[in-house]
Structure formats: C-alpha cells, structure tokens
C-alpha cells in the first residue's frame, strides 16, 4: 500500500491546482476513476462525487471529502520531489496527502467487506472565499451527500482525529490619508506610516487560548496582505490591509466586529468583513465518531478552518482525519510524510472493515 | 493675454499625459506649433525642441524647459474645470501652467524686440525614474540646447524664482518573514507586522532643515508605496516598501546609504537605492540669473527635485521659475491660479524685452 500511496500523492502533486485552476486535475481524476468499475461519478464545475453504482441501503453512510486546490506556490516555485520518505510539493500536506488516501480507499479497499456505504467528494476552491467553495455547488447538484451519517474530511491532521474548527474571517482595513507631493509631505497625510502603530500592535499581540469541551483553540489576528500608494513620489492616501482573524467555536460575526471596533478605535481607518466562515462546533456524541475515537485515535481541536463547519451547518456530523502535517500547510517548502499516509489509510481501513 | 493663457492651459489639460502616455499631447503640440511661422522643430520620442529658424548669434541664449507628463489621476478622476480664476485638472500646477506660459511666449511674444535668443524644450517622463527622463534623449539628439546661457524650468514656483533643488532617491526596503498557514502564525514570521515599528518611527520623524547659502531646504523620508503578502490565508513572508528620500544640496548617494543603514539597523530588512537624482547646487552668480533676480523677484530654495540638477550636471546654469503652485503639485484636486500665469508671463516678457 505504501507504494500505491506514494504513487497517488505524486499523481496529485504533479498536477498543479492553485485555487481557480483545478480543471486539469479534476479532468484527469474523472478519467482515472472511470477505469475502476462499480463507481458512479457526478461532476459539477470542477467538483467530483463518487458513490457505488449498487449501494447497500442497509449500511451506515460515510462520506470522505477532500479539496483539490492549493494555495499558490512560493516565489521561485516548489518543485515536486521525494527525499527518502518525505514528499515535497505545493499541497503535499494540505491536502493532497488526504486526497491520495481517499483515492486509495476508492480504488483499492474491499468495500464488499465493509459495514459502511461509502461516497467521496473531491472539490475545488476551498482555499478561496467562503462563498465560492466548491462544496456549495455539490450540496445543490448532489444533495444526497448530505445524507451521510458521518463526513470525514481528510484535511491535514497528522493521523489524529481533529474535531471542531476555528472560524475564520477576512477583514479589509483601510487607512486613509491625504495625497501630496512627496517632497512636501507636510501638505498631506501619509496613510502608510499612519498604519505603523496598528501593525506594531498586532506584532506584539499574544495568541489567545479558548477552551471548548476540554479542547484548547487559539485565536489569532494576522495581517496577511497590504497594498498602498499610487506613485513613488506621492504621499500615499490609502493603505489597504487584509487581516485574517481566526476565532474559537462559539463566537460569531458580531464578536469579529467587536474586536475590530476596539482595535481601530483612535485610528483613521475603516474596516469591512469581506469573508466570514463560521467556527465548527465540538460535538463528540455521533456514534460513528465514537467508534472511531474508541479505536484509539488521539482527539485534538482543529486549529484551522475546515469544511467541518460547513457540514455541521447542514446538520451533518463531521470531523477532520487526514494524512498531511498541519504544520506544513501553506509552508514555503511544504512536504508530507509517507508514513503518515500509511497510518491514516490503515486506521481507516481497519475502522471500515466488518 | 489672460484669455490666451487660460486657453493654453485648458489646451494642455484636456490632453491627459500621465508619464508614459505623452504621445498624443506631443503629437498635437507639434502640429499646433507648426502653424506658427519662424520656428524649427526637432522631435525625439515624445520630446520636442523649438528654436528660431533664423537665430541671431550675437544674442544671449535662453532656454525654457517644461515637462509634458503628469502623475496619475486620483481615484475617481480629476475632471478639468474652471472655477472663477482657478483651473482644476491633473497637472494644472505641475506643470501645465508652466507649459502654457512657454507656449504663449513661443506663439505670442515679439522676439524681434528681445535681447535673448530663445529656445524651448517640452519633454516626457519627468515624473518617472531619473534615467528615463526625456531630457536625456534631448541632450543626445539636440545637444545645442546645452549651449544655453541660462535654462529656466517652468516648474511650479508660484511666480517666485526658486534656485537649487533637493535631491531625490527612491529606496526599496524589503522586510523578510517566513510563510505559514495564517491559522497558526507562530509557525512563521510576519513580514507585515515586522515593519510596523519602522513605519511608526517614520510617522513620528521630524522634517530636517538644512541651510545652504542662506536658503533653507527640508529633508524628508516618505514611504510612498507598499506591497506585501501572497494570499489572504498565508502569513506574509515579504513586505516591499518604497521610500522617497529628499535630501539637501551637497549630499550624495553615500549620505543616502548611511541614512538607511542607520534606519534599518536592528530590523530584518534589506534596502536598495533604485533611483537617484542628485541635488541641484545653489549658484546665484550667473549674470542672466542676477538680472532676473534684480527685476525684483522673490528668491527661494526649491523644495522638490527638478531638472535644474540635470542641467547643472551638464554645466548649464538653471533655475525654476514657473506659474503653478508648488503646494498643488500631485494633490488630489490639483489646481492652478490663472493670475499666477499672467504674473509669470508678464515678468518673463518684461525681463526679455530690450
């Protein structure tokens, strides 16, 4: 299985799929799975669902979900390469390792010997705005996926079971100034330097710990992008900063707004919440989830937003259980550990066997 | 003359000419001047020189220079309009007011009654990098312009005589961090917040006064543009900031470097001087300049970089004497005062008459 998992991961990695550019990977995946008999595919945009052509309605339904897209490559690229048992490439951990395990389950697991009725969703645009996420189209076009008794999302968890998830909001903060010739800056107001104190404050800000059902989540406020200025010799009259706020389960958009009202008090700046994805509740009482927990897996809080929250909103119990390393997600030289793909696959296989 | 100056200024303003887009204005100007007999035109790229077809070699040579380009319009545009004696439009003061006075001198002044042998240069790309400035091509293709006994640059001076000029350097400062998933920022280093203290320091920094030959110049350090971050959910690993430094006559590129070494000590940042234009010396001993000063004009230091420095480097005495308002240069709702165009024209006409 090790060789097959390695092959699968490389198969995904050599098909770059930055958010918005998933078509080729999706085409190839559709073509590849078509060669495995017994599966029925549905496609909407660059989202693929697979279920068995002859399902057993008496079985409990389990759904495996994985996004196909990745964040952009770093400057200078991130070539796919294998170093002993480490596989480098954009998306290696987030989450082509999970996709590779899903593909192995789909193609190689003996589903006749399982208590579970499986289905799979490979979807696009998870790394982009909340509303553009490919699952939304899947929920509309293939609503049967919401009948699952448990959805497992193979986001990077290093083989642990990660429950709940922090919510995420993107907030655009705009500092305002007044333009002037840069030789006489006293005739204007510099929006860029005006943001200095705000950025310095966030630089010093501590991570906030929030405990939910015994699990510790971390709240963070991270400026991720900035754009300002119009010309090299003009005092800049605007600075746009995108801030990503991750908040613990139980908080909502009003809490997000309250934080920014406080943060920007006294600054000549406006803010707008341009993207908001709710946090995922921590619910451990699902029978299938209990069975998985009892198999001896470590249970941890999910310190990232995942589509667990989106499934929870639709009433589907969901948890993260994947093969990538969470610490490698979006890293400059992102890699995955082949051993973790094996562990993840074997744990799922033994959970699924009758 | 008031009506003619107004017409001329509007003629320039309704032909937008942001740096790099001067072609149409230059074409129209060439065509227009061709209708005034007695002038010989030379064109290189979007630069135009005019001298008399039958020059008088016994006369003293005076050159009038004006750039055709402007900085970009503000967001939402800057419609050309006249409000009583105020004319709004991008470049109204910097320096289409000066261009309008030059065009009036060229078309309407009785050169037969002058002691001066005139020539005119209208050139492109003054608002861009030092090396791309259109005068460089003019100096190569029409080297006779450097024979002038005095060059007057009609940059905005509100009708005063402004001598010398501050030098200007564009310095790109790059703050470095390490990318990570923005849900776990402690795994990376945020280049954007790392720049907070640097920006806050420049926000508080005082203007430095430097006195040269009794004239006070102001040294300023102005961050004008910033770009940072790669995606909304990735800890930014670089922040690029452009800083415009204006320094007093007498300082050179080594002084610029010294300032940035000090400023960035202790920061994880690099800098590069990407554009450098020398300061213009304060030289009041040119006989023609003396004659102009004695006509009762106010003499002030030039608190902006102008091509005075470029002429000085080529051994040509030069000063700024123009009709725009320096305080309006690059402003959001830039305007010119028609009365100042008249004053500037009349002062030049009386200076030039025998």
Nearest chain A residue to B166, by CA: A183
Between A283 and B154, the more confident residue is: B154
Contact B197 A200 (CB under 8 A): yes
C-alpha to C-alpha distances, A153 to A311, A316, B175, nearest whole angstrom: 10, 12, 36
**Per-position b or e across B210-241, b if 16+ CB within 10 A of its CB:** bebeebebbbbbbbbbbebbbbbbbbbbbbeb
What is the distance between the alpha carbons of residues A279 and A164, in angstroms, rounded to a whole number?
Answer: 7
CA distance B40 to chain A (A): 35
Count H helices and E strands in chain A, helices first. 10, 16
- Is residue A279 helix, strand or coil? coil
**Per-position b or e across B148-158, b if 16+ CB within 10 A of its CB:** bbbbbbbbbbb
Choose among A295, A347, A290, A278: nearest CA to A105. A347
Which helix H or strand E contains A63, and what residues bound it?
strand A60-67
User: Within an 8 Å CB–CB cutoff, is residue A206 touching chain B?
Assistant: no
Phi, psi of B287 (to 5 degrees): -60, -40
Contact A224 B225 (CB under 8 A): no
Mean pLDDT of B219-244: 96
Q: Are A277 and A305 in contact (CB under 8 A)?
A: yes
Q: How confident is the model at residue A44 (pLDDT cuts 50, 70, 90)?
A: very high
Contact B182 A229 (CB under 8 A): no
Q: Are B96 and B25 in contact (CB under 8 A)?
A: no
List, as ranges, residues 20-39 from B with C-beta within 8 Å of A. none
Strands (E), A96-237: 116-123, 150-153, 161-163, 167-176, 208-212, 215-228
A126 is catalytic: yes
What is the distance between the alpha carbons of residues B225 and B246, in angstroms, rounded to a whole number?
Answer: 16
What is the distance between the alpha carbons of residues A224 and A226, in angstroms, rounded to a whole number?
Answer: 7
Q: Which chain B residues have a beta carbon less than 8 Å from that of A305?
A: 183
| A81 token code pair | 């390469």
- Identify the pLDDT of residue B91: 98
B contact test, residue of A167, A199, A263 with most B CBs within 10 A: A199
What is the distance between the alpha carbons of residues B340 and A236, in angstroms, rounded to a whole number?
Answer: 28
What is the distance between the alpha carbons of residues B11 and B8, in angstroms, rounded to a whole number?
Answer: 5
Mean pLDDT of B301-318: 91
Nearest chain A residue to B304, by CA: A183
- Identify the pLDDT of residue A221: 97
What contacts B10, CB < 8 A, 6 or more positions away? B80, B82, B87
User: Per-residue DSSP letters for B58-72?
Assistant: TSEEEEEEEE--BPP
Q: Which chain A residues have a beta carbon less than 8 Å from that of B227?
A: 226-227
What is the distance between the alpha carbons of residues B327 and B329, in angstroms, rounded to a whole number?
Answer: 6
What pairing do the DSSP bridges indicate for beta strands B116-123 and B150-153? unpaired
Mean confidence (pLDDT) of chain B: 95
Mean pLDDT of B232-243: 96
Q: What is the pLDDT of residues B266-297, one digit of tens each?
A: 898 999 999 999 999 888 889 999 999 988 88
The one catalytic residue in B22, B124, B126, B334 is: B126
Q: Which chain B residues have a beta carbon less than 8 Å from that of A226?
A: 192, 226-229, 236, 239
A and B: number of Cβ contacts within 8 A: 227
CA distance B119 to chain A (A): 29
Q: How confident is the model at residue A314 (pLDDT cuts 50, 70, 90)?
A: very high
The ipTM estimated for the assembled molecules is 0.72
Mean pLDDT of B37-56: 97
For chain A, the C-alpha Rg in angstroms (whole number) is 22
CA distance A340 to chain B (A): 20
The listed range with the strongest mean pLDDT (A263-267, B116-120, B350-354) is B116-120
Nearest chain B residue to A207, by CA: B186
Q: Which chain A residues have a beta carbon less than 8 Å from that of B320?
A: none
User: Within an 8 Å CB–CB cutoff, is residue A354 touching chain B?
Assistant: no
B contact test, residue of A223, A243, A267, A333 with most B CBs within 10 A: A223
User: Within an 8 Å CB–CB cutoff, is residue A193 touching chain B?
Assistant: yes
Q: Say yes or no to pLDDT of A262 above 90.
A: yes
Mean pLDDT of A34-52: 97
Q: What is the pLDDT of residues A94-137, one digit of tens each?
A: 999 999 999 999 999 999 999 999 999 999 999 988 889 999 99
A189 is catalytic: no
Q: What is the pLDDT of residues A73-103, one digit of tens each?
A: 988 889 999 998 999 999 999 999 999 999 9
CA B36 to mean position of chain CA atoms: 28
- Among A72, A181, A239, select the one facing B230 at the smallest CB separation: A72
What is the distance between the alpha carbons of residues A182 and A338, in angstroms, rounded to a whole number?
Answer: 55
A contact test, residue of B69, B90, B164, B192 with most A CBs within 10 A: B192
Q: What is the pLDDT of residues B114-130, one digit of tens each?
A: 999 999 999 999 998 88
| A144 token code pair | 């049967």
Q: Say yes or no to pLDDT of A283 above 90.
A: no
CA distance A206 to chain B (A): 10
What is the distance between the alpha carbons of residues B143 and B314, in angstroms, rounded to a whole number?
Answer: 11
Listing from the earlier edge strand, what are the strands of the sheet with A86-88? Answer: A81-83, A86-88, A335-337
CA A258 to mean position of chain CA atoms: 25
Contact B199 A195 (CB under 8 A): yes
What is the distance between the alpha carbons of residues B224 and B168, in angstroms, rounded to a whole number?
Answer: 13
Q: What is the pLDDT of residues B14-36, one digit of tens each?
A: 999 999 999 999 999 999 999 99
Q: Say yes or no to pLDDT of B351 above 90.
A: yes
Q: Which chain A residues have a beta carbon less than 8 Å from that of B18?
A: none
Q: Are B63 and B119 in contact (CB under 8 A)?
A: yes
What is the distance between the alpha carbons of residues B214 and B299, in angstroms, rounded to a whole number?
Answer: 11
- Identify the pLDDT of residue A129: 87
What is the distance between the alpha carbons of residues B132 and A232, in angstroms, rounded to a whole number?
Answer: 14
Contact B222 A185 (CB under 8 A): yes
- Identify the pLDDT of residue B285: 86
Between B335 and A332, the more confident residue is: B335
- Identify the pLDDT of residue A117: 98
Residue carrying structure tokens 């997600």:
A329
Q: Say yes or no to pLDDT of B304 above 90.
A: no
Contact B234 A71 (CB under 8 A): yes
Contact A305 B71 (CB under 8 A): no
What is the distance between the alpha carbons of residues A158 and A142, in angstroms, rounded to a whole number?
Answer: 30
Q: Say yes or no to pLDDT of A236 above 90.
A: yes
Q: Say yes or no to pLDDT of A64 above 90.
A: yes
- Among A186, A227, A329, select the one facing B181 at the smallest CB separation: A329
- Identify the pLDDT of residue A75: 85
What pairing do the DSSP bridges indicate for beta strands B335-337 and B86-88? antiparallel
Nearest chain B residue to A178, by CA: B332
User: Per-residue DSSP letters for A104-143?
Assistant: HHHHHS-GGGBSEEEEEEEES-SSS-GGG-THHHHHHH-G
Mean pLDDT of B181-188: 92
Q: Say yes or no to pLDDT of B84 above 90.
A: no
CA distance B213 to chain A (A): 20
- Identify the pLDDT of residue B284: 84
Q: How confident is the model at residue A354 (pLDDT cuts 50, 70, 90)?
A: confident
With 0-12 / 13-18 / 19 or more C-beta atoms within 10 angstroms meaning exposed / middle / buried, residue A258 is: exposed
Q: Are A307 and A133 in contact (CB under 8 A)?
A: yes
What is the distance between the alpha carbons of residues A64 and A49, in angstroms, rounded to a whole number?
Answer: 10
């Amino acid at each position: 299985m090790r060789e097959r998992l390695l092959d699968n991961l490389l198969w995904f990695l050599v098909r770059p799929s930055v958010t918005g550019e998933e078509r080729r990977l999706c085409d190839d995946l559709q073509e590849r799975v078509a060669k495995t008999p017994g599966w029925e595919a549905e496609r909407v945009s660059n989202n693929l669902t697979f279920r068995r052509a002859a399902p057993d309605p008496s079985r409990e339904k389990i759904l495996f979900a994985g996004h196909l897209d990745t964040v952009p490559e770093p400057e200078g690229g991130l070539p796919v390469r294998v170093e002993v048992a480490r596989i480098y490439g954009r998306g290696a951990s987030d989450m082509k390792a999970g996709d590779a395990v899903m593909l192995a389950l789909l193609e190689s697991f003996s589903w006749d010997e399982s208590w579970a009725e499986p289905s799979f969703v490979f979807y696009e645009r998870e790394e982009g705005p909340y509303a553009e996420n490919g699952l939304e189209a899947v929920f509309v076009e293939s609503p049967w996926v919401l009948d699952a008794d448990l959805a497992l999302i193979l986001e990077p968890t290093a083989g642990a079971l990660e429950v709940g998830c922090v919510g995420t909001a993107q907030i655009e903060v705009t500092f305002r100034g007044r333009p002037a010739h840069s030789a006489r800056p006293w005739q204007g107001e510099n929006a860029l330097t005006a943001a200095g104190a705000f950025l310095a404050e966030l630089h010093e800000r501590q991570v906030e710990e929030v405990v939910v059902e015994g699990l510790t989540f971390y709240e963070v406020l991270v400026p991720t992008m900035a754009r300002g200025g119009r010309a090299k010799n003009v005092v800049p009259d605007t600075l746009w900063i995108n801030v990503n706020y991750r908040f613990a389960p139980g908080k909502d958009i009003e809490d997000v707004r309250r934080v920014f009202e406080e943060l920007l008090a006294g600054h000549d700046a406006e803010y707008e919440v341009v993207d908001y994805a709710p946090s995922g509740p921590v619910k451990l009482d699902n029978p299938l989830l209990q069975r998985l927990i009892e198999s001896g897996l470590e249970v941890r809080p999910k310190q990232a937003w995942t589509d667990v929250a989106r499934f929870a909103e639709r009433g589907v119990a969901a948890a993260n259980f994947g093969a990538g390393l969470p610490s490698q997600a979006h890293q400059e030289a992102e890699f995955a550990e082949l051993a973790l793909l094996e562990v993840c696959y074997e744990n799922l296989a033994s959970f699924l066997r009758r």
